[in-house]
Amino acid sequence: MMRVAVVTIALIVLTSSIAFSQDPAPKVQVFGGYSLLHTNSGGVTGPLLDSALAAPTGTFGVSSNFNGWNAEAQYNLKPWFGIVADFSGSYGSPITASSGSGVSGLPNGNSYSILFGPALSYRTKLRMTPFVHALFGFDRAHLDQSTITGLPVGSPDFSNAVSDTGFAMALGGGLDYRLSHHIALRLGQVDYLYTGHHLNSLYGGAFGPGMFSGLATHENNLRFSTGIVFKF
């Protein structure tokens, strides 16, 4: 799949070299598509979870990749300068269990971010429009209530629903390929995504106060997005 993606992008770049009309600057553009969030565990590891939840060694693990969506609305004050409102959501369970452990019912999680900030675009005579942005706002992380089965007697068999909201910041950019006057393909957008979640509170709220200590109070994550841009 990676080879196919590289070849496709290379062909698009090559064919775009014959297009010499200036990429028009829309007043408003709206983006929507798929997002992959790669998170920093913030010190949460399988062995730490085994110890905190009184489980046999090798029972638990952590997941760092989460699927979701990303949407943006951008108002361009100048052909090269715009203001962006960015919204995203990601879903999955940050805690996993080994296949032979017999443990099930682990809490699912989600996170939602709302960010705002400036964007700079370079509109060339080709079909390509690279851009960069700096976005600031908030991210809300949530773990669902769940009933956990398969753990030894005396281990927590229940997790509470818990949420944590913290400051968030996305620094990055991407590349749009113009398909028509009103539609473009976002070949890729990559952001460094900072989230200010206190993981001691998040996991302590889920499994019990004081069960976790020394975890991060912020996370350095990466977010990749791709999709369609509509221009008006």
| pLDDT one-digit tens code per residue, 141-178 | 999 999 989 988 878 788 899 999 999 999 999 999 99
Q: What is the per-residue pLDDT across 81-124, written as a single tens digit (0 to 9) for each?
A: 999 999 999 999 999 999 888 999 999 999 999 999 999 999 88
Per the prediction, the chain carries an average pLDDT of: 89
In which element (H, E) is residue 110 found?
A: strand 109-121
DSSP string, 146-209: EE-BSPPTTS--EE--EEEEEEEEEEEEEEEEESSSSEEEEEEEEEEEEE---HHHHHHHHH-T
User: Residue range 41-47: average pLDDT?
Assistant: 93
pLDDT at 203: 93
Distance (Å, whole) CA 49 – CA 23 = 52
pLDDT band at 19 (very low <50, low <70, confident <90, very high): very low
Share of the chain above pLDDT 90, in %: 76
Share of the chain above pLDDT 70, in %: 90
Distance (Å, whole) CA 232 – CA 168 = 29
pLDDT band at 23 (very low <50, low <70, confident <90, very high): low
pLDDT at 204: 92
List the beta bridge partners of residue 221. Answer: 193
Q: Going from the N-terminus, what domains does the chain have, and what CATH number goes with each?
A: 2-231 (2.40.160.20)
pLDDT band at 13 (very low <50, low <70, confident <90, very high): very low
- Contact of 140 with 112, CB cutoff 8 Å: yes
Residue 230, CB-side half-sphere exposure with 13 Å CA sphere? 6
- Contact of 51 with 207, CB cutoff 8 Å: no
In which element (H, E) is residue 205 found?
A: helix 199-207
pLDDT band at 7 (very low <50, low <70, confident <90, very high): very low
pLDDT at 6: 42
Residue 21 above 70 pLDDT? no
pLDDT at 24: 66
Residue 20 above 70 pLDDT? no
